[in-house]
Chains A and B, each alone.
Chain A
Amino acid sequence: MTESRLEDPQETLQRELMRIGSLMIVDIGSVNTRAALFDTVEGRYRFLVAGTAQTTSNFPLFDASEGVRQALDRLEVISGRKLADEDDKIIIPSTDDGSGADYMATTVSAGEPLKAVVVGLLEKVSLASAANLANTNYTEIIESISLNDRRRPEDQIDTIQRIRPDIILIAGGTDNGASQSVLKLVNAVGLAIYLLPEGHRPEVVFAGNPQLGNQVRNFIEPLAPIHIAPNIRPGLAEEQLGPAQRIITDIFRRINVGRIAGMSELNVWSGGQLLPSSHGLGRVIRFFSKIVPNPDTKGVLGINVGASSTIVAGSFNGDLRMRVFTRTGMGEGLKSVLENTQMEDVLRWLPAEISPTYILDYIQNKITHPATLPATREDLYIEHALAREVMRTSIMNAISSFPKDAKRIQQNTLPVFDPIVVGGAVLTEAPMLSQSLLMILDALEPTGIQRIILDKNNLCSGLGAAAAITPALVAQLLLDPIAFLNLGFIISPVSRAREGTAVLRVRIQYETGHENIIEVRQGNIETIPLPIGQRARIFLDPLHRANIGFGPGRSSSLEVVGGPFGVVVDARGRPIQLHQSNEERHRQLLRWQTSLK
């Protein structure tokens, strides 16, 4: 294997630096509003400061811009740079005295998800694609209507009347495919919209058989805003969500600007390009997947665990597959844990005895007060166990949307990703980095060799929004250790060896010429000392047919850079085997935790 450092598009960036100047990014989450400032320092783009305040889009202020101002106040205090004028207006572009910023990019995930009705011909074909399309944004699918629907048409009409959706997504008919049956569905939808009171009518997206575009437009246009997108299912086995996704993003922006006070001015300051946070993260991950070496063999994964929603974005050489799990997160989103997770799945990650009753109450209290923090050790254990489950269930549900031919070391494991970019307060604000890394490894169970990058300043979404202004900036900042924290190289051999059997021999050759050999046994996590930022070459010899991504038992060598734990070998097998006995499992979990020094 050759060196796998990221390419640094310096020349492009230098040109862009001349063009741009300072940049301010803002991300409005359901609990926190975060702002960050970037500027050129000594010819490079640098992350300067970040500030956080409570989101104020809900009761009692009902104005998102107030939270943004408070976050900017914090930036002002830290940076000493004036960002708002005497009238509290954000200074865009910057002035000669250095106040303000030249550009602003805003992303948002706060507010209620859009209520969506998806319509398609066949459940497993166009209806599934319409649902996939809806799931790339902050939508909640309230109702699905298909040709196989056994309800009477008037019942479908009544359902739409009752729901009053924000958006109706209609798919159906491959290119040059079905038309009459699609038009029948469009007619039913049109009638339901016609019967809705004006002012309560949804925006409609038609992303089906393109031959029907004009007919659908002519029929729906007098009733509700209609958007014709390229077919999301041009062929039976082909799905193409990208162009329709952009239309959904525009609708999301329009609805939020109309619904949440303060969004309108933030959108203006952001050049009319306010984006859903998921879209911002998706852009970064897609961009990243194009610039990594060997993009054909490894994808790039992004996961962000918010209070209300979780985003999973996997990109394979520029092909982005994204899922937004609304109502799945560490605050209000814990409802999904209550509804979909077994108590055993949470209990298994606790390194101490805590009663299931206390855990249930913990979850419900956190749903009620999502901004609260775990002050006791037991509460932190629960919080981190829940984070594992939120990430695990999200990735499990997202995996079906990844390409079938994505490289995997073993069936039913995560495809090979490098890097994995992780964000969300529960991970970035854990008391110890080892806790963050262990949560990620336990939940995602990556295989092979990859780096894990922690979006510790929660910059990804905003940088994605800024990518429209300056794409090369994103590349440079992802390499900036001040902006993002590279947790280092993780090597996860896949092996069926018995616990305690040696599965990997690692020889590390330091720049000084010194060498060290470490043998890692199945069931253990080992760290190989390598100071942060220091380079070394490692030679990996899998034992007992263990696989590190090059085939069972096949050796390899690569240049690595030290992270906070040096280089980490996670030889716990896939899936991770936990002891059945509570006492032994508690010891096992604590041992893994202490392995990451």
Chain B
Amino acid sequence: MLTSITHILPLAQIRRQRFLPVAGTVLVRAGQEVKADEVIARADINPEHISLNVERGLGVPKNKVADYLKRDIGDDIPEGGVIASRSGVITRDIRAPRAGKLVAVGGGQVLLQVSNRPYELLAGIPGTVLEVKADMGAVIQTAGAWIQGVWGNGRLSVGALHMVAEGSDQSLTSEQLDPTLTGKILLASYCGEQRALELGVELQLKGLILGGLATRLLPVAARAPYPIMVVDGFGKIPMNMAAYKLLSTNVKRETTLNAMVFNQFLGERPEVIIPLKSVENPPMPINISQLKTSDRVRIIRAPFQGAVGTVNAILPGLTRFPSGLQVEATEVLLESGEKAVVPLANIEVLG
């Protein structure tokens, strides 16, 4: 059976294609070092349009408007620049209310395209620009520890990693949060307390990495101005030991938390990257493999949700579960020493 791989790796070569949705301006060059939160390209993807009624403004017939225009389609016009004018005893002008470009004329009106704040594409990972694709973006590469999550609130930041969980199964409470944590990326296990997430805003946290999150807090987490990433899933589930051990051994290191929204179509997942610059050419991870014995796996559904272990055996035929379902299954030797029989559909390979 082919399974996709979730990456929880102490050292990997990580490569990202970072491209604009439409052509724009690329701000970096090949070989350049970039930070995760650095803007690498910019594009005007959401222009705003302003319609100006020349017919009414100048008091001229619709079909004569073109005669009074002082600009052509495609012309850039500064704020206050004259677009159309009618001289007479009193000269009447149609001026651009904002700087922009004349994009259309018709029906007695002109359409001005004005720029909004341009879309800024961030590097997303700290690293070196491997190559640049003109007008679109760049490929960036780095090496380091890499942990993928299952949910992110769409924000990104860089900061020092700090552990507030004293174990992989400890709940995060507001009592654990104090002003000494300002500006840090926190590693915790489960969060089921709304106040804790709110306090994170007041303390200006740089980020929060959780094993599990109560689903009812999703709206609060989604609104939080700092990045929040969930590693394992929803509910009172501990952070899987593979991720917990890896993160807890990297405390105080500069960490990039890119809590991008999980996109199953594109495979974009929230992630933590802890760069290790001294290492050259670490292995490039693979994204899919055939499931086999000795694979390290994580269980992603109850029971044993969040538990990590190794595949002991892929069971022949179909196995009946307490739900009554008879499906293909595997026996997993958990890190606790316990053996668990799990539907093949309920595991993820770690690698």
Contact = CB atoms under 8 A, between A and B. Distances in A.
Contact of B265 (A111, A358, A362, A363): A111
A375 B49 contact: no
A111 B263 CA distance: 12
Contact of A60 (B235, B287, B346): B287
Interface stretch (A149-157, A234-242, A529-537): A149-157
B49 A154 contact: yes
Interface string A44-77: 0000000000101011110000000010000000
A154 B114 CA distance: 12
B103 interface: yes
Contacts of B48: 154, 158
B302 A60 contact: no
Contact of B235 (A58, A358, A371): A358
Contacts of A363: 215
Contact of B325 (A60, A157, A197, A380): A380
B279 interface: no
Chain B CB within 10 A, most for which of A54, A157, A380: A157
A: contact size bracket: 35 or more
A58 B4 CA distance: 11
A194 B104 contact: yes
B89 interface: no
A576 interface: no
A195 B113 contact: yes
B46 A332 contact: no
A56 B345 CA distance: 15
Given A58-B267, A369-B300, A371-B345, A431 B325 contact: yes
Given A154-B111, A369-B300, A376 B265 contact: no
Contact of B46 (A59, A112, A158, A360): A158
B324 interface: yes
B216 interface: yes
A361 B301 contact: no
Given A54-B2, A375-B342, A376-B303, A195 B104 contact: yes
A375 B267 contact: no
B290 to A, nearest CB: 11
A191 interface: yes
A200 interface: yes
A369 B342 CA distance: 15
A482 to B, nearest CB: 20
Contacts of B22: 197, 200
Interface in A363-383: 363-365, 368-380
A375 B302 contact: yes
A375 B301 contact: yes
B176 interface: no
B346 A375 contact: yes
B111 A376 contact: no
A196 to B, nearest CB: 9
A41 interface: no
A1 interface: no
Chain B CB within 10 A, most for which of A371, A372, A380: A372
Nearest to B321: A375
Contacts of B134: none
Contacts of B346: 369, 372-373, 375
A357 interface: yes
A360 B264 contact: no
B322 A375 contact: yes
Contacts of A360: 214-216, 234
Contacts of B301: 365, 369, 372-375, 379
A191 B265 contact: no
Interface string A126-165: 0000000000000000000000000011100110011000
A595 interface: no
Contacts of B342: 375
A373 B322 CA distance: 12
A363 B235 CA distance: 10
Interface string A423-440: 000000101100000000
Interface string B151-177: 100000000000000000000000000
Nearest to B340: A375
16 contacts: A56-B2, A58-B267, A60-B267, A153-B51, A154-B48, A154-B49, A158-B46, A158-B49, A195-B49, A361-B215, A365-B301, A372-B300, A372-B301, A376-B322, A378-B302, A431-B326
Name the 9 nearest CB pairs between A and B, nearest first.
A59-B267, A431-B324, A361-B235, A60-B287, A380-B323, A364-B234, A360-B215, A154-B49, A364-B215
